[in-house]
Structures are given as C-alpha cells and as structure tokens.
C-alpha cells in the first residue's frame, strides 16, 4: 500500500518535536482522517533555519509531515510558501489515491506557520499598530 520511502518517513519521522522559541506556529486538522498537525518554524535572515512538527495522524499524514519539514528546511520564506501538496507527493514518490488528501495537511500547516511568522514580524516593525 505504501512505498518504502513513505514507510521510512512514517517509521522515522524527520524533525519531530517542538521548537520552544519558534518564530511562527501553524496548525491544521483534517476531519476526514482525524489527522492533526502543528508546525514550528525558526526564521533567520528570511530563511527557515529550523523546523519541527507534532502530529496525531495516519501513516500517510505522518510521512507527509516529515517530508514537508525536509523540503522546507533551509529554504527562503518565499520558496517555502510555495511548497504544495504536489511537491510533497513527488518527494515521497506518490501516495495511494485515497490517502492523497493527507499531503495537504503538511503543506497547509507550513503555510499557516509562515503567515503566523509574517504577522508577528509586522507587529514588531509597527510597534503600536494592530495588524490583522
């Protein structure tokens, strides 16, 4: 059902855990599978210098979360913002059709973490302005 690369990322997820001093945090859930993912990013010079994730989910979601962190690490914020589910599927060599939706979770949570980072940095640069 799953290829070897997916099984490897499921059994040994990369960058699992929490970043205590994260610059951005994104969460996303998928009611269809009951998957839930939380992504933490550390940003240095507009690049993702570190990334971690926590997940409760099916094997496909865990593998996709792990793949997403590998794809995002070291990328500029602009590049990372363009990572989509197709990139994750390509990296993992494809998912069974009925599990393809699980790849959206990793990409979506990363986008949410980037938006969170951007809002925070806007708030810092406009000290007394509320930016929504």
- Is residue 64 among the annotated active site residues? no
Q: Reply yes or no on whether 33 is catalytic.
A: yes
How many alpha carbons fall within 13 Å on the CB side of residue 60? 22
What is the rounded distance in angstroms from the CA atom of residue 69 to the CA atom of residue 87?
12
Interacting stretch for Zn ion, rule CB under 5 A, among 1-9, 59-67, 85-93, 115-123? 59-67
Pick from 37, 48, 58, 77: which binds Zn ion (CB under 5 A)? 58
Which residues lie across from 26 on neighbouring strands? 39
**Of 33, 81, 100, 118, the one binding Zn ion by CB under 5 A:** 33
- CA dist., res. 60 & res. 47, Å (int): 27
Handedness of CA 26, 40, 88, 7 (dihedral sign): negative
| Contact between residue 6 and residue 63 where contact means Cβ atoms under 8 Å apart | yes
What is the closest distance, in whole angstroms, from the C-beta atom of residue 99 to Zn ion in the complex?
6
Region near Zn ion per CB under 5 A, out of 4-12, 41-49, 74-82, 102-110: 102-110
Give the footprint of Zn ion on this chain (CB under 5 A): 33, 35, 58, 61, 102
* Catalytic residue list: 33, 102
């Amino acid at each position: 059902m799953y290829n070897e690369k997916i099984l490897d990322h499921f059994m040994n997820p990369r960058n699992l855990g929490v970043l205590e001093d994260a610059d951005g945090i994104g969460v996303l859930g998928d009611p269809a599978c009951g998957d839930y993912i939380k992504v933490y990013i550390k940003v240095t010079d507009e690049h993702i210098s570190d990334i971690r994730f926590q997940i409760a989910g099916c094997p496909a979601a865990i593998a996709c979360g792990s793949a997403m962190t590998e794809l995002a690490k070291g990328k500029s914020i602009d590049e990372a913002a363009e990572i989509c589910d197709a990139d994750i599927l390509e990296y993992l060599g494809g998912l069974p059709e009925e599990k393809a939706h699980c790849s959206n979770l990793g990409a979506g949570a990363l986008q949410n973490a980037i938006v969170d980072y951007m809002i925070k940095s806007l708030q810092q640069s406009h000290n007394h302005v509320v930016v929504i």
